[in-house]
Structure 1
Amino acid sequence: MAQAANAFITTLNGDQKTEVMHPLADTLRYNWHFIPRERLGLNLKRMNDSQRKAAMHMVEVVLSDKGYQKIKDIIDLENVLRVLESRPPNDTRRDPENYAFLVYGDPAAKEPWGWRMEGHHISLHYTSVNGHVSFTPSFLGSNPGHVLIDVPQKGKRVLGPEEDMGYELLNSFSADQKKQVILAEKSPYEIFSVNQRRVTGLDKLEGLTMKEMTPAQKQIFKKLIALYLDRYHVTLKNQQMQQLEKAGMDNLYFAWMGDAELKMGKGAGHYYRIQGPTILIEFDNTQNDANHIHTVVRDLTDDFSEDLLKEHYAKSHKGGK
């Protein structure tokens, strides 16, 4: 990851480095969102070919092949939205080149550093502290969730597996289990964690625990969790799985809100979350008549690697460095 970041930085001129590079302590790091908006940093539109290649290689090295393909497909959906919303080719609201890169700290040094890629429906954050890499918050969205119009991307469902397996798990439950799992008949308009620096308002664990599931249901639940973690490089995936196992897989909850039957593009909004002592995963498909998906992975102990950074700086200060 550091090699890829350094390679990207070497492609930049002085003014571009000023735009891209910020101190790790800059609060800009926590000002993140997944809506279409102007963003600080250097976006793909203002890069030359070698810079774009180097920037996207930063993304490629921290994701799995499947995860990187999702990133490319989400970017490509901006072209679909231009057609869907009858926007001109030079439109800047739905722009596949409006994805910006920022680097915090110096990846060539031994001190903690981080970087992010962000644009509409993508917000990726990576922080390295003493060899440990945090990869959350990590947001991916899809609009349309299911491409229905007559374009080359017709039929595409970038986050379809996450939707389908959520329903598969829900439909595996008995009537009594569903009473515990389904928290509300109406889905929320948005994921609860939104773009908060720290997750708040979800302190109460609700739904059905893995411990209360049958062996077959547990396997589906584990596959659903793996769908999200499989987006990332295998080292990061294994790091997160080890953390989940240490905290106890049986302590993971599954909760649902909204329609219990998948009716793609027909206004049947639905939401689910996976939550435990260390992790929060949210899926929401409610907006645009339930054809607009938001998903996020949050590490409740390691977002932005804040706790490790506090520990690092405390030790450095104690040592007089």
Structure 2
Amino acid sequence: MRLFKVLVMLFMLSVSNAQSNEVLTFLNTLNENQLSKTILSFDNTSRETWHFLPGTMYKRHGIALYDLDETQKTHAFNLLKYHLSSTGYLKTKKIIELERYLGELSGKKVFRDPEKYYFAFYGNPKKDSLWSWSFEGHHISLNFTVSNEKISASPRFMGTNPAEIKEGPLKGQRVLNKEEDLAFELINSMGEEQRAKTIFKSIAFPDILTSNKSKVAPLENEGIKAKNLNEKQKAILTKLIKEYLLTLPQELAKERYRAIQIAEFDDIRFAWAGSTDLTKGHYYRIQGDTFLIEFDNTQNNANHVHLVWREFNGDFGRDLIKEHYEKSDHHKQK
């Protein structure tokens, strides 16, 4: 329990002035009607609901890009830029652009609309010490919780369709290539005995198992433990985990990885289902005591990726919120 508390504190990084300023700058550009769409109560049930379906298939709360003028959009994307790393921001922008690509390719521009991505705030950052915000649309769900200038950032979902563009001027583009290639490097580095421990199912799952659940528990303990990998393989696994954390600002990513390294690295499990051929359906997961990564590429003839990072106790800032209420004099008096 003490070790877990240390881990939690390591992950709660202070919000920078730039991040805080961008939040207020964006909100200050909105008129009264826009603010009524954007700022919801902290206890609104939609705060802990999310999905990765296209905007026309799943009703989202908050304000959409199409409701913002160009200046407001600039500040909205600055908000993302300051809460993500340059890598995470670039991936996010490319995923949005894939929606435009799919619209042009299919002719269904209303269904595939890159403007149907939503910003929602829960609680008021201008006056509340506890609040959160999300950015969500097709193949993106990013969730941030802030308490007294500490920040938590999960769940984080990204997806790409296609995983690899096969034709046109963007031919060869793979937005989430490192998350896939490093996993293949790891599984292909294994000997027969290691593979027997790692591959627990011959056919990949049709999607990530946790789907869009609000709260997740650890999955079955399948796969090989990190302590049973050789040093080269441990280095690949480390790179793979860090690739998921690279979505976050550098300091937050470093602190989260350091917490994993201190508390749980040896017992992390890497598990594989499906083919070890990149062109056929495959799935893997990385599971520790506190977190879960899932990756699935089975749809569209293994050319459609879904991946997610979940925190068993920290999704939607649950650990941060608990700490907030435990330390708040106002709540202690109730």
Asked if these proteins are the same fold (TM beyond 0.5), I'd say yes
CA displacement 1:266-319 (0-9 Å, x = unmatched): xx1000011100111111000111100001111222111113313322443554
Equivalent of 2:186 in 169, 172, 180: 169
How many residues matched?
312
Give the aligned partner of residue 240 of structure 1. 256
Instruction: Return the alpha-carbon distance in structure 2 between the equivalents of residues 166 and 126 of structure 1.
Output: 27
Give the aligned partner of residue 202 of structure 2. 185
Aligned letter for 2:163? G
Give the aligned partner of residue 280 of structure 1. 292
Give the aligned partner of residue 140 of structure 1. 158
Instruction: Return the alpha-carbon distance in structure 2 between the equivalents of residues 296 and 238 of structure 1.
Output: 19
Other structure's SS at 2:172 match: coil
Matches within 5 A, 1:50-129: 50-87=71-108, 91-129=109-147
Identity of aligned residues (%): 41
Higher relative contact order (CA 8 A, sep 6+): 2
Aligned letter for 2:63? L
Instruction: Return the alpha-carbon distance in structure 2 between the equivalents of residues 225 and 79 of structure 1.
Output: 30
* 2:61/2:118 contact within 8 Å kept: yes
Instruction: Return the alpha-carbon distance in structure 2 between the equivalents of residues 238 and 115 of structure 1.
Output: 22
* 1:205/1:276 contact within 8 Å kept: no
Other structure's SS at 1:5 match: helix
Aligned letter for 2:157? F
Structure 2: 5+ residue stretches without partners: 1-18
Q: CA deviation at 1:39?
A: 2.1
Matches within 5 A, 1:270-309: 270-309=282-321
CA displacement 1:18-71 (0-9 Å, x = unmatched): 000011121111121011134221111111011101111111001111111101
Q: Please identify, of 152-161 and 52-61, the stretch whose mean Cα deviation from structure 2 is larger.
A: 152-161
Instruction: Return the alpha-carbon distance in structure 2 between the equivalents of residues 120 and 158 of structure 1.
Output: 15
Structure 1: 5+ residue stretches without partners: none
Give the aligned partner of residue 155 of structure 1. 172
Give the aligned partner of residue 3 of structure 2. none
* 1:247/1:278 contact within 8 Å kept: no
Other structure's SS at 1:102 match: strand
Other structure's SS at 2:247 match: coil
Other structure's SS at 2:167 match: coil
Q: 1:175 to 1:130 in 2, by over 3 A?
A: same
Instruction: Return the alpha-carbon distance in structure 1 between the equivalents of residues 257 and 22 of structure 2.
Output: 25
Instruction: Return the alpha-carbon distance in structure 1 between the equivalents of residues 150 and 287 of structure 2.
Output: 23
* 2:274/2:283 contact within 8 Å kept: yes
Q: CA deviation at 1:169?
A: 0.4
Q: CA deviation at 1:238?
A: 1.7
Alignment pair present for 1:214 and 2:218: no
* 1:64/1:230 contact within 8 Å kept: yes
Give the aligned partner of residue 322 of structure 2. 310
Give the aligned partner of residue 260 of structure 1. 276
Give the aligned partner of residue 38 of structure 2. 20
Instruction: Return the alpha-carbon distance in structure 2 between the equivalents of residues 146 and 112 of structure 1.
Output: 40
Q: CA deviation at 1:85?
A: 1.9
CA displacement 1:110-152 (0-9 Å, x = unmatched): 51111000000010000012332111000010000000132x3
Instruction: Return the alpha-carbon distance in structure 2 between the equivalents of residues 314 and 226 of structure 1.
Output: 31
Alignment pair present for 1:7 and 2:25: yes
- Runs of 4+ in structure 1 deviating by more than 3 angstroms, as ranges, are none
Q: CA deviation at 1:228?
A: 0.8
Other structure's SS at 1:262 match: coil
Q: CA deviation at 1:226?
A: 1.0
Equivalent of 1:45 in 38, 47, 66: 66
* 1:67/1:231 contact within 8 Å kept: yes
Other structure's SS at 2:144 match: strand
Other structure's SS at 1:2 match: helix
Task: Note the aligned Cα RMSD (angstroms).
Answer: 1.4
Other structure's SS at 2:215 match: coil
Instruction: Return the alpha-carbon distance in structure 2 between the equivalents of residues 305 and 188 of structure 1.
Output: 28
